[in-house]
Amino acid sequence: MSERPSEVSHAGRRLLRRGAQGVRRTVARRPRLFIYLAILGPGMITANAGNDAGGIATYATAGADHGYRLLWSLIPITISLGIVQEMCARMGAVTGKGLADLIRERFGVRWTAFVMLALLIANGGVTVSEFVGIAAAMELFGVARYISVPIAAIAIWWLVVKGSYQRVERVFLAMSLVFLSYVVSAFLAHPPWGTVLREVVHPHFEFGSAYLFTCVAIIGTTISPYMQVFIQSSVVEKGVRVEKYALTRADVWIGTVFAIMIVFFIMISTAATLNVHGEHIESAAQAARALSPLAGPYAEVLFAIGLLGASMLAAGVLPLATAYSISEALGFEKGVSSNFREAPIFLGIFTFLIALGALIAMMPGLPLIRVLIITQVINGVLLPVILVAVLRLVNNRELMGSHTNGPLYNLAAWLTTFVVSALSVLLIAATLFPNLFAK
């Protein structure tokens, strides 16, 4: 018995030599493709999140009102969107922190309060636009907005707070894929491809307030402030590291180009179906007509499905993301699993945004399409606030080390900020003094 204890200490411990040889086999068996798929994502998802209710309305209106004459703006917008998204993704990978977090830690309380206020207003506007989108989509199905909007608002609030939103999220995402049909529709509408190509590479600018308005709306809906917060958070959430950042950069650029391609086809199909007849878009039913070359009499149904999916998707995510950002930056208790006593401000912001969106969308006689575009203009006007913060952070050596912007990159990024600011100022001036640019 005396020598037993040492043996006993091995009780339950099996020393099998065959196991050691198994290592290489198991580890090598892991498919490499999986890594790519796991990382390829945030850029694609975020850039295409821009194609929501407000986005569709803006691009469709731009095509209907201005024909092919705004197509040229898509190339500079692609570059700007790619650069802005890439900077935020890079910050996420290098610092492992969200944008709201970095703003608070680097700029202090007052700047944070200012930026967060801008974000709250911009995201509030977008939330309103999503509920307007729900109202418009359901009206195409013949359901009055006084019924559809409150039901949608309560359903979304309930799903998010109960934590089951993620399960229905995929359904909405799948529904919004309907908008891919714009690509087919654009081809079937037989646009004059020669003119289209010429307009893409031929920049021209007008000083009319309608033109400015549409420009700012396009920029505001494509490069929305929430998208910067969003992409950085998802890069952090995915745990993307600097060493593997090249993949994420590719994802950001591919996603950007893909998103703008969709925009390109939306504008072409509306230009070819509505603008040629001198029609404007004042209702969702009119906007849906751009899909008629593909779907014929079912164009409205198709459009309504896509609009509803995209709007429901964003109407849940945006208020939640906004509440997270603000709570994160200002240090409030957060999380949907907490109750109102534990996280009053977090849940308060979330609830307020949904209620605000629903209430505004239910206002009688509200011109839905017009409201959709105004919310995107607000986005565009507030965008410079976020862009300046992003640029100052990404060029901070202490924070980013050797991953700050290069000189050319900085030039393009500051130029974007400057152009967007200038357009916003011009638009505000043109709105306040309607005769400013009158000929």
Partner 1 sequence: MIYLSQVLGRPILDLEGERVAVLKDVIVRLGEGDHPPVAGFVARYRRRDFFLPRWRISDFGEHGVHLNSDILDLRPFMRRDGEVLLARDVLDKQLIDVDGKRVVRVNDVQIIEAANEWHVTGADVSLLGLWRRLAPAFLRSTRPVEVIDWADVGYLGTDAATVQLKSHRGRLARLHPVEIARLAEAFSYQQGAEIVESLDDDTAAETLEEMAAERQAQILGDMDEERAADILERMSPDEAADVLGDLPEEKAEDLLNLMQDDEQSEVAELLPYEDDTAGGLMTTEFVTLPRDLTVGEALARLREMAETPNMIYYLYVVAAEDSWNLIGVIALRNLILADPSAPLEDVMRSDLQVAHPDDNAADVAQKVAEYNLLALPVVDEAGDILGIVTVDDAIEILLPKGWRQRLPKMFG
How many residues touch partner 1 under the rule CB under 8 A: the total is 55
Q: Does 17 bind partner 1 (CB under 8 A)?
A: yes
Alpha carbons 78 and 219: distance in angstroms, whole number: 10
Looking at residues 41 to 100 of the shown chain, list those that interact with partner 1 (rule: CB under 8 A). 42, 95-97
Contacting residue, 2, 3, 19, 277, with partner 1 by CB under 8 A? 19
Rounded CA Rg of the chain: 25
Q: Does 33 bind partner 1 (CB under 8 A)?
A: no
- Per the CB < 8 A criterion, the answer to whether 96 and 428 are in contact is no
Alpha carbons 309 and 313: distance in angstroms, whole number: 6
Contacting residue, 40, 105, 150, 200, with partner 1 by CB under 8 A? 105
Closest distance of CB 4 from partner 1, Å = 7
Residue 26 or 435 having the CB closest to partner 1: 26
Q: Does 135 bind partner 1 (CB under 8 A)?
A: no
Contacting residue, 69, 90, 104, 289, with partner 1 by CB under 8 A? 104
Closest distance of CB 51 from partner 1, Å = 18
Q: Does 2 bind partner 1 (CB under 8 A)?
A: no
Closest distance of CB 27 from partner 1, Å = 4
**Among 16-24, 58-66, 146-154, 266-274, which window interacts with partner 1 (CB under 8 A)?**
16-24
Q: Does 113 bind partner 1 (CB under 8 A)?
A: yes
**Among 13-21, 128-136, 301-309, 366-374, which window interacts with partner 1 (CB under 8 A)?**
13-21
Residue 153 or 321 having the CB closest to partner 1: 321
Residue 69 or 97 having the CB closest to partner 1: 97
Q: Does 230 bind partner 1 (CB under 8 A)?
A: yes
**Please, is 128 exposed, middle or buried when counting C-beta atoms within 10 Å of its C-beta (0-12, 13-18, 19+)?**
buried
Looking at residues 310 to 339 of the shown chain, list those that interact with partner 1 (rule: CB under 8 A). 317, 320-321, 324, 330-331, 333, 335-337
Using alpha carbons, select from 220, 201, 16, 212 the residue that is nearest to residue 123. Answer: 220
Tokens 């095509």 identify what position? 63
Q: Does 166 bind partner 1 (CB under 8 A)?
A: yes
Tokens for 335?
Answer: 């999380």
The number of residues making up the chain comes to 439
- Residue numbers at the binding site for partner 1 (CB under 8 A): 4-5, 7-9, 11-20, 22-28, 30, 42, 95-97, 104-105, 108-110, 112-113, 163-164, 166, 230, 233-234, 236-239, 241, 317, 320-321, 324, 330-331, 333, 335-337
